[in-house]
Amino acid sequence: MFESYIDVRTWLENFIPQVWTKQELGLARIRYLLKLLDNPQDKFKSIHVAGTSGKGSTAFYIARLLEVSNVPKVSEALGTRDTLDTRGTPKVGLHLSPHLVDIRERMQIFESSKFENELMPIGRFLRLFNEVGPIVEKIKKDKFELTPSYFEILVAASFLYFAQEKVDWAVVEVGLGGRLDATNVLQPELCVITNVGLDHTEILGSTAEKIAFEKAGIIKLQVRKVREVREVSKVPKVNQIGVSVVTGATGKALNVIEKVAKSKKAPLIKIDTQSWPKTLKSDAKDYLIKYYDIVRHRTQNFVLENVLLAVSALETLGFRVSKSSLKEMLSLPFPGRFEQIDDRVILDGAHNPDKIKFLIRWIKKQLTTDNLQLTKEKMSDVTGQMSIVLIVAFKKGKDWQKMIDLLIKNLQVKTVIATKFYAVTDMGRYQAVDPKEIKDYLDTKYKIQDTRYFNNSQQAIFSALDSSTLGTSELVLITGSLYLVGEVRTIWHLPSF
C-alpha cells in the first residue's frame, strides 16, 4: 500500500477535516479504530499530559526522566499493564503533537538511557502504516460515519507502535483540550495538567473556567484493590479512587480542576511554579526541596514549571529521580522551543500570549547574561543594546494581534518580517494568517523602522540573514507558530525520509 514516507503523508492528509468545530470532537471514531487494532492503548502504562502551555516539553522531560530512572518494567512475557516484575532502565514511548518536520516525531521510543534522539526507521514506519491503513480504509468504506481524522489515525498508530514494541511506559500529550481529545481513551497511571490559559477559545470556550473543565476531562476514576486486611473477615477491601493528578494551574482554573478531581476521588498535587518560595510551600515541597539547587541554578523561568511538573510526576508515582539524571536531562534541547539554531538566530514555537510572555522573559535573560553564542568582538555590543529582527507567522484563530503587541512593547524590535507557513495542520490546510494583514496591522499601530512581508517563509529567513542588512548587534527571532518553526528549521536540519 505504502512504499515511501511521502506516500504515507499524502494518504494521511486526505483525512484532515474540511471544517473543525467542537462538534467534530468526540471519542467514538478513535474507540472504534482502536477496537479493530485490538486496543493497543491497554497494553502499556501511561502518563497523560494536558494544559495550555508547556505540555509538550513537560511530556518530553517526563519521558526522558523515566528513561534513566530506576522504575518498574512491564513483564515482556505477559505484556499487561498490571504485571510488574523487574526494575531497571525502561522502554519509554513519547507521543507529541504537532510534529515540526517529520510525522515520526509524534511517536518516539527512548530506551538507551543515553538520551539519543533517533526517529523510527523508515522501514518500521512503513510497516506500521501498512497495517493501520487498510483498516482505516475499510472503516471508510463500511462505516463512513466512523472514519477517523488525521489526528485520530496518528494517535492510534502511536499506540499500536508502543504496544508492538512493548514499551513499559508511554507519556502522551493531549492534542486539544482533553475531555474529547482522541488521546483520552487512555486509562493512565497519572494525569498532569500544566496550566490553563486562553487558547483555542472558539472550540474549548471563552473563559479560563470553561477551558479548565475541558482539560480536567482527562481525570479519571479507577478501581484499584487496596490491601486493607479486616480483623474479622480478612477479605481485601476494594476502594474506588481516582487517578492522581499533578497540576501547575492557578486561580479560577485551579478551582475547576479541584472540583473535578474531588468528584472523581482523585488525589490532587498542586504545585505553584511562579516562584521558588511559592513552590516550596506547595503540595510537592517535601520532595522538590531535594532538587532545589539543581533546578534553580540550571533552569530559568521559561522551563521551571515544566521541569518541576516532570519531577513531581515521577515522585508522585513513587519513582526516585537521581540528581545526576536530572542534571543531564536539563542539558537536553527540545527542538523548536527556545532553540538557538545558529549564531544570533532563535527559534521558538510560541503560539499564544502566555507562551510569548515566557519567550520575552527568556530573550531578556539571554541578552543581559550574554548567554548567546557571539564572537568576542560582537559581545561588547550586546548587553542591553541588541535589537530584534522579528520573523512571525500565525495560525488562523489565534490572538495574533496580542502576541504582536507583547513582542513590540517588550523587546527592542527594529525589523518585523511577516510571513506564512504552508505546512498542513491537524485542523486543515492553508491555516496561516495572510502576512500582508500582519504588516498592515503593524504599519497602522506602530512606527517600526522596517516592516516587510513574504509569502514564502524560507525567503523571509534569507532576507533577514542577508549580511548586507543584518547588523552585528541584531538577533533574529522566529516565532508565532510551531508550524512556521518546523517549516524553516529545515534550512538547518533536513531529516532523511
Amino acid 106: pLDDT: 95
Q: Which residues contact 346 (CB under 8 A, 6 or more apart)?
A: 338, 339, 340, 363, 475, 476, 477, 478, 479
Grid coordinates of 269:
498535587
Taking residues 161-184, report their average pLDDT.
Answer: 94
- Per-residue pLDDT band for 2 (boundaries 50, 70, 90) equals very high
> What is the percent of the chain with per-residue pLDDT over 70, rounded to a whole number?
77
Mean pLDDT computed over 411-439: 90
Q: Is the peptide bond before 98 cis (omega within 30 degrees of 0)?
A: yes
- With cell 502566555, the residue in question is 354
pLDDT at 143 over 90: yes
Entry pTM:
0.85
Say how far apart CA 113 and CA 115 lie, in whole Å: 6
What tens digit of pLDDT does each residue of 463-473 get? 998 865 676 77
**pLDDT value, residue 231:** 43
Q: How many helices (H) and strands (E) does the chain have?
A: 19, 17
Q: What is the pLDDT of residue 340?
A: 87
Q: Which CATH class is domain 5-330?
A: alpha beta
pLDDT value of position 368 = 64
Q: Name the more confident of 115 and 254.
A: 254
Q: What is the DSSP letter of 248?
A: -
Torsion of CA 490, 495, 496, 497, to 10 degrees: -90
pLDDT in tens, 41-62: 999 999 999 988 788 889 998 9
Rounded Cα distance, 207 and 214, in Å: 11
Point out which residues pair with 347 in neighbouring strands: 339, 478
Query: What is 339-489's CATH number?
Result: 3.90.190.20
Is a pLDDT exceeding 70 seen at residue 237? no
Q: Which of 15-19, 238-242, 331-335, 341-345 has the lowest mean pLDDT?
A: 238-242
What one-character-per-residue DSSP string does 288-310 give?
HGGGHHHHHHH--HHHHHHHHHH
Any alpha helices (H) in 222-352, and if so which ranges? 251-263, 276-279, 285-288, 292-298, 301-316, 323-330
Bridge partners of 71? 88
What integer is the mean pLDDT of 166-194? 93
pLDDT tens digits, one per residue of 308-365: 888 888 888 888 777 777 777 777 778 888 888 888 899 999 988 888 988 898 888 7
Q: What is the pLDDT of residue 312?
A: 85
What's the pLDDT at 282?
62
What are the extents of the domains in the chain? Answer: 5-330, 339-489
